[in-house]
Every structure is written in C-alpha cells, then in structure tokens.
Chains A and B, each alone.
Chain A
C-alpha cells in the first residue's frame, strides 16, 4: 500500500487532520494582530483605549481554543495511521521467506518495527503540520505585507527564496548522511553484540586489554559519522538563522526609515516587524520540514513496501516421489553441494550423512524451500520446489531444525501451537519424544511455563519439545536435522525408533550413532566434502 492509498483509506480522518493543521495558521497572525493593536494605543485617542485593550486580549487569547481544537482534530488520525503502519511493517517482515529473513540481521528487522516507526511518527505528522502552518501563514502574511509596503513584500519573497536555496543545497547531502547514520547505527549494534557476546571468553582468557582497541574503534567509528551528520544539520540551520535575523534587522531599519518619511503608521511598523519575523522563521521551519517529510516518506517506503519472492503457486503433491537432479550449491565462491542426485518414493526414509561442512543442512534447506539459489532440480512429483506455493508446501512438510525456538508460554502451548488440543494425541507425542517422564515430574506438568526462549530448561529438553512439536503437527513429509545433538544415547534411541515407526516420508540428517542408523535405514546418502574435489 502506498501512502496515498493509506491516506485515501482514512479520507475522513485525514480531512479533519488538514482542517486541524489549517487552524494553526490563524494562531501566529492573530497574536501579531494583537500586538499591533496594542502599539496602536500610543497614538490612539483616549476614548478608544478600552476597546483596543479588549481587542488586544481577544486576539491574543483566540489561538488557545483554536490550538486545542486543532490538536483534537489531529491526534485521532495519528493514532489510526500509526496502528496501520506498524501492522504493515510487521507483515512485511513476517511475509519474508526464511532464507530472505536469515540474510538480514535481526537487529535491522527489529529496527523496522520499533525505531524506524518512531522516526516516521516523529517526522511525518510534524512535517505535514508545519508545512501547512508555514506556507498557509506565508501566503496570508505576504498579502498583508504587499498591501502595507510592496518593497518589503518583495524583499521578503527574495529572502524566502534565499532560504529555499540553502535548504535545497543541503538536501541531498542531508539525506545521504541520514542514511549513512542509520547504517552506522545498525553496524554499531551488530559489532557491539559480537564483542559483548564474547565477553565471557575475553574474561576467561584474560585478553581484556587486547580487546580494548577493537572495542574503542567500534565506538569511534559511529561517533565520527554522527558528528558529520550533526555538522551538516547545524551549518544549514545556523546559516538560515543568520539570514533570517539579518533580514529582520534590515527590514526594521528600512521600516523605521519609512516611518520617518511618514510613509508608515506606528501600527503598521509594529505589524511589519512582527510579520516579517513570523514569516521568515516560519519558512525556515517549513523548508526544513519538506526535507523531513521526504525522509519520512523514505522510511515509510522502506518499512512497508512488500517484496517479491521467487516462489510460485503450484499445488503440492507427493504421489510418485521426490527427485533431486544435479543439485549444486555454493556460498559465495565456496562450493558446498556438488552434483547431488537421488530419488525417493513417498513414505521412504532416507539417511543423509557426511563429514562436517559437507553441506548436510544446506541440502535439507534446498529441499525444504529454505534456500532457493541452488542450481539443478528438486522435483516433488515433477514440480520444481521453487514453483510450489509456500503455504501448500508448509502445510505438507515439517522441519525439525537445529535451532529449537520456544515461546514464552506453557510446554503444552509450545507443542500444539495453533492446533486444537487433543489429549490422546498430545500424550502420545510426549511419549514418542521421550518427554513424558520429565513432564510428569514437573509441578504444573505440561502447563509448566517456559521462560525467555526456554532458558530455564536444558538443551536436550528443548530439543525434545521441538521434536514433539513436529510430531503433533503430523505433516506427511518430515525433514529432520540432527535430532540427537543434545541427547544422551538412550533418549536418542527412543527418538530414532519413533521416527522409524512413523508412516511418513522422512529425510534425516545425522552424524552420530551411524552404525545403528546405517542398519535401520535402507536408503542412505553420503555427502562428500565438495571443496575437496575442487581444491
């Protein structure tokens, strides 16, 4: 959805927002008017003083209820739009295929839904408001100035153009440096995370002093870029401030000269002086906000524009089997899989083995739509896996990964997820994943709450919950990556027996218990280190 569509959808609210913004233009003018009425008192006859004082207070206070009304017209729109933008950003991330997601750091994804939206919020609405306010006031103010003194009116136009030139001159570098700063921030967090995660290692090996320098460099780099951005920003605003205040002074001198020549009344003198200030400072504001508006549009585009992904929309079926032909895969220039060929029938169970670094997990990822940049063919019933609709694929294929993520929820909820709870099936899965005994020993049984990605349980328990989860979800095809890495031998055996007894297609990667597994699996694929042949 583009910003126009978004605003179109909230047409009524947006209209109220603009009305609210327009109301603010009256504010400054009204107070200027109040001031000029006040100074008029000096030359006015005694009889009109009371009326003039009343007029002064009326126009001085008028902006306050208007401002109040304006805010209320605006904030509802802000709330509704931001809820939508947040949701769009979240959807954009969740819409990504796993392989795309994994290529980017979690920090940058996090930034999209948290800090970038805060930036958007800060800039977008403030920019619209200030642009409407500044330009609205400018047009009205210019008309008044031209009536009082065409020379001053014309001069103000020129001064404003000068301000605009300054703003335009800084526009491109400002945008560029903003982008760089943003990148530098992400980079900083990434590098810092890297060193901090290793803090224990640093302490254990007592190399604190050796790490001080790289640590300092990370900080220094970010601050240097921030400094550049700050300077650019400051130069622009200082230059504008100087132009504005100088022009204001010049006009004051010129207006006083006109006053001496009797071409200007005292009321007009005060009006001119105040208006100039308001218009010029308003324009600086307005021009700055044009840049900020553009920047907020960039952010909006970046966090909400949906990306295109390489998958198709074919249905998934596995009647004749899975056929892998000449499958090769390289990470950058390092060949990992080299011409892998095999074929399996539905309900077949295949064991994939090989030395570490031979590409076992990579192969599983190619087969399971988790990696699409391979060459060769992966065919499920003659359909290339990349052409299959991801939803249809996921509905039929399960994957037990090495990364066992657990939600902040009960064990039971972590296993059934969004499925209906079926007690018999649930109990069976616990048993199959060798979890029953442990769960029975817990006070809350399966309703035991897991904390923060399951940090309160052991690695083996995490692994088994993850296996139980896949079993409960009962997909026809199951990819399994090293199911026993954190398990002791007895538990591992139980898990293998469970897998062997399932009436499903199973593609298993393992590096342990090979003698046992080799006996149990009739179909086996041994991967060689691809680099070895090409060294």
Chain B
C-alpha cells in the first residue's frame, strides 16, 4: 500500500501545476498592491489607473482559474480513493484462505470504510493543503526578497523559532487525545453490543439498566473530550501569544524603519502581507504534518492486515486420491490444550464418509483443520501422501466444495449465488436446484441481506446446490441438516450419496435407514475420533425418533 500513499500521482502532478500558476498570479496581485499604494502616496493618478486596470485583468483570470480548480481537485481525490481502495480489494481477494475468518473480515471492512475515510480526510486532503500552503510560503519568500534579501533572513529566523515553539507545546494535547480515543472505543463497543443483543434486551426489559451503563459511557467520552478542550485552549493561547508578539514586533519595527528611511509604505504593505502569508502556512505546516504522520499509521495497519503469511507450498495436486490424519492433535493456536487428541482417519477417493458427534464434541475443529483455518497442534495431515501445508493453497481448496452451517448468501440473484458470476451451462444450475428440491425458486429472484428473504431451510439447500454446481472432488457438508425438515434432509442425503464424488458429511443428525450406505462412519467424542464398524452401536447412542 505504500506505493499508493499519495493517491493518483498523475493527478497530483496536475493539481500541483495548477496550484503553482494560481499562486503566482496571487503573488503578482500583491506585488501590484505595492504600486497602488506608492502611486497613491505620490499622488500619481495616471499610473494608479494603469495599475488598477492590470489588477482587474488579473482578477478576471483568477475567477476562471478558481472555477477550473474544483474539478481538478475533485478528480484527484476520487481517482486516488478509487485507485487505493481497488488496490486494497485486489490484495484482499488475493489474501490467503487462512486470513478470511470473521475477525479478519471485520478488519478489512473497517479498513475499507472508516480508515479509508480518515485517510482521505487527514492525508490526501491535507496533502493538497500542504502543497498549497507550501507554495504560498514560497511566494511570500519571493516577494520579501524582491523588497530586500535581508528581510528573508530575518523572517526565516523568526519563523523557525516560532515553529519549534509550537511543536513543543502540542505534546500534552496528544496524550489527552489518546485517552479520549480509548473511551470512545469503549463507547462504540457498548453501542455495538446493544444493537447485536437488541432482541434479548427488549425481551428481558433490560432497557433501563443498559441506558444507565450507556449514560456512563457517554459521560466518560464527553469528559475526556472536555479535558482535551481545556488542554487545547491553554496551548492555543500560548501559541497565539507568541505568534502575535512576533507579528506585531515586525510590523512595529517595519513602520519605525519606514518612518525614518526610504522604505516606501507600499513596500511595507508587501512586507506585512507577505510575512502574514508566510506565518500562516507555517502555523499550518506542523498540524498538517502531524496529522499526516499520525494517519500514515493506517497504511502500516493496512499492510499488516493484508500481508499473506509466507508459506512454502510448492506441491501441485490435480486430483484427489487419499486424505489421512495420522495421530494428530487438533485445537486452537491460542489455547494450550488441544480439543481432539491422536486423530487417526483416512478417506479415499469416491468414499462416502459420515462424521457424527454431539454438540461441542470437536467436529468443527476437525473441519476447520481440514479447511486449513487451523494448523494441527501435532503431526501433519497428508493428501495423496503430501503434507497439506505444503500443497499449493489454490490446488488444495479447489478440491473441496463446502456447504456449512453459517454459509453465505450474496446480494444478487439466485443464479449469481449458484454460479458465483462464472459462466456456467444453465442446465447444470437447473439440475442442481432440482436435486435439492428448490426447483420452485426462480433463478432470477433477488436475494438480500445474507438471504434473509429465504427461510432457513431454503438457504441451506441453496448453498448445497451451489456446491453441486461447482466442479470439485470432495463435497464437505457441515451440519447441513440442522435447519431442514426430515423428509427433505433425507432426500438430499440420498442425492448426495448418489453423486460420483467423495462425500464428507459432518452431522449430529443421522438417519437410520441410510447409515449403511456410507463407506465409513467416524464418531467424535471425548476428544477422540474413532471409526465405528458397528452401525447399531452408533444408532443406539442416538435418540430413536423415526
């Protein structure tokens, strides 16, 4: 992302050229003011009129330039933001599969919304401002030098002293600002929790308790804000005092000189206004730079979020032959204890495998490991004799079609959700929809909000149809029966068992009559995964309900 830090460089160049021309004209108009004053004082009417006419021409040109400036600036902004966001999106899409879990996705989202907004406000816009004030500053220096080069030296010394002073005084404000952000974050978290838990809060009439807690957060935010205001007020007053003293000492001194020597009043006006023009950019430089420096942290965060973990995964795999777990311990990286111990399990091409287990037994851990969201705590898992961590991720994931509990439905038509914008023969789609019993659904129906306009069962079936449409070797089902009525679940299971692909079905819901149609059945319980050869034993552990 660092290459993109300045946004669109082409447009930055264009607006810089533009700003140079407009600043030069401004400088020229101040230069002319000097003559208006001097001719006025010398009572030379003819020359005054001549200068006045030149001045009017410049004003007209400035109007045109001001009007041209707007589209130029807005183009630079929007080109830059689009370019940066697209670069970010490219990187997100190119991110490793292990980096797309919920918390990472939330980070991408907040980068693409809040952080980019802040970056635009505090970096890109400030960059334009910085160039602008820099040019103003340069213009003032040139004007001062035109009166007398010594003035440049004197004013530069004064300005440097002033800038040093301001940068020192702003330190305490930064500290208080940090505290304010912390309370603001706590406040935002609390609001977010209230919204997530809205139904529960209403249902149990917790509004007044929540309101009290909210109020406390609001008071904390505003009190911290108040403290920042107090600090800023003090610092501002001090800076203003120094600035005013410097400015008026210069004016007073200049006037005394003008009074006794040949310095014309016109020149004095140029000096004062140039000095003001130099002072003002300088007082802007340091807040602009510190804001820009502060916000450039965002780019480092972007980079951190987008960095692909470095893997050495050279092995390419074209087809699926055999998958085996060999005495692996599985669990989460930040927890010491493993959830499943000494897992032994092997699946061969074409096999239909059922993995059963009670809720909380560790089925999801097994699946997450298979999908490489988790790395085994001990040992390695092999696919066609290769460690899965050494297989090219694209090759690996292409083997699987996953249908899971949560799943995801995109905003778009049913068709978009099936083919995921790939070109696909319509008969494949229609066939898949028939297989999952969704043939009544219109392919062009629009789905919104993660499929909230479908029922739970329809969602699950749509995701299953998606998996059927896509070319893969293994269908991985994660609790797909949980939201289905039994008759449909059974017929879907029957269809799945007929598909000429490897099937791994992880479920806590099982059907007695189809148990024997699986090639292997594994039971996950008490931290172990065991293959069961006695189907009646599996059944007896489950509730007889059919």
Which of A's residues lie within 8 Å of B, judged by CB?
31, 34-35, 38-39, 41-42, 49, 53, 56-57, 60-61, 63-65, 67-68, 71-72, 75-76, 78-80, 82-83, 86-87, 90-91, 93-95, 97-98, 101, 106, 109-110, 113-114, 185, 188-189, 191-216, 219-220, 223-224, 226-227, 230-231, 234-235, 238-239, 241-242, 245-246, 249, 252-253, 256-257, 259-260, 266, 331, 355-358, 391, 394-395, 398-399, 401-403, 405-408, 417-418, 438, 453, 455, 457-461, 469, 473, 482, 485-493, 511-516
**Smallest CB separation, B87 vs chain A (Å):** 11
* B195 and A106 contact, CB distance less than 8 A: yes
Contact partner, B259, options A41, A417, A473, Cβ 8 Å: A41
Chain A residues with CB below 8 A from B62, complex form: 242, 245-246
* A79 and B222 contact, CB distance less than 8 A: yes
With A34-B248, A38-B248 known to touch, is A252 a contact of B105 (CB < 8 Å)?
A: no
> 1/0 per position for B493-515, CB-CB distance to A under 8 A?
00000000000000011000000
- Which of B48, B197, B241, B455: most chain A Cβ within 10 A? B455
Chain B residues with CB below 8 A from A511, complex form: 457, 483-486
* B508 and A488 contact, CB distance less than 8 A: yes
CB within 8 Å of A: which of B22-80? 29, 33, 36-37, 39-41, 43, 45, 48, 52, 55, 59, 62-63, 66-67, 69-71, 73-75, 77-78
A6 to B74, CA, bound (A): 39
The answer to whether B146 has its CB under 8 Å from any CB of chain A is: no
> 1/0 per position for B156-198, CB-CB distance to A under 8 A?
0000000000000000000000000000000110011111111
Contacts A/B (CB < 8 Å), 16 sampled: A64-B244, A86-B222, A90-B214, A90-B218, A189-B109, A198-B409, A199-B95, A202-B93, A219-B81, A253-B52, A253-B55, A356-B456, A357-B454, A487-B359, A488-B358, A515-B545
Chain B residues with CB below 8 A from A487, complex form: 359, 508
* A203 and B100 contact, CB distance less than 8 A: yes
**Smallest CB separation, A122 vs chain B (Å):** 12
* B359 and A405 contact, CB distance less than 8 A: no
A332 to B466, CA, bound (A): 27
The answer to whether B21 has its CB under 8 Å from any CB of chain A is: no
A-B contacts at CB below 8 angstroms, number: 357
* A205 and B470 contact, CB distance less than 8 A: yes
* A231 and B82 contact, CB distance less than 8 A: no
* A71 and B202 contact, CB distance less than 8 A: no
* A249 and B192 contact, CB distance less than 8 A: no
Which of B224-232, B301-309, B345-353 forms contacts with chain A? B224-232
* B229 and A199 contact, CB distance less than 8 A: no
CB-CB nearest in chain B for A95: B207
Chain B residues with CB below 8 A from A514, complex form: 486, 545
* B48 and A75 contact, CB distance less than 8 A: no
**Smallest CB separation, A325 vs chain B (Å):** 25
**Smallest CB separation, B11 vs chain A (Å):** 12
* A75 and B259 contact, CB distance less than 8 A: no
A216 to B488, CA, bound (A): 39
CB-CB nearest in chain A for B201: A94
Contact partner, B196, options A201, A227, A453, A485, Cβ 8 Å: A453
The answer to whether B364 has its CB under 8 Å from any CB of chain A is: yes
**Smallest CB separation, A439 vs chain B (Å):** 12
* B420 and A210 contact, CB distance less than 8 A: yes
The answer to whether B256 has its CB under 8 Å from any CB of chain A is: yes
Contact partner, A260, options B43, B214, B240, B259, Cβ 8 Å: B43
With A83-B215, A205-B470 known to touch, is A405 a contact of B421 (CB < 8 Å)?
A: no
**How many of chain B's residues have a CB under 8 angstroms from any CB in A?**
139
* B421 and A211 contact, CB distance less than 8 A: yes
Chain B residues with CB below 8 A from A56, complex form: 248, 251-252
Chain B residues with CB below 8 A from A399, complex form: 203
A79 to B67, CA, bound (A): 40
Contact partner, A356, options B66, B73, B488, Cβ 8 Å: B488
CB-CB nearest in chain A for B393: A203
With A189-B113, A356-B485 known to touch, is A71 a contact of B195 (CB < 8 Å)?
A: no
The answer to whether B397 has its CB under 8 Å from any CB of chain A is: yes
* B85 and A249 contact, CB distance less than 8 A: no
The answer to whether B233 has its CB under 8 Å from any CB of chain A is: yes
- Which of B85, B229, B359, B488: most chain A Cβ within 10 A? B359
The answer to whether B490 has its CB under 8 Å from any CB of chain A is: no
> 1/0 per position for B205-223, CB-CB distance to A under 8 A?
1110111001100110111
A196 to B113, CA, bound (A): 12
CB within 8 Å of A: which of B241-264? 241, 244-245, 247-248, 251-252, 255-256, 258-259
With A110-B191, A193-B109 known to touch, is A71 a contact of B89 (CB < 8 Å)?
A: no
With A211-B420, A512-B486 known to touch, is A76 a contact of B226 (CB < 8 Å)?
A: yes
The answer to whether B422 has its CB under 8 Å from any CB of chain A is: yes
Chain B residues with CB below 8 A from A61, complex form: 241, 244-245
* B421 and A75 contact, CB distance less than 8 A: no
A208 to B205, CA, bound (A): 45
Chain A residues with CB below 8 A from B483, complex form: 356, 482, 485, 511
* A238 and B69 contact, CB distance less than 8 A: yes
CB-CB nearest in chain A for B198: A101
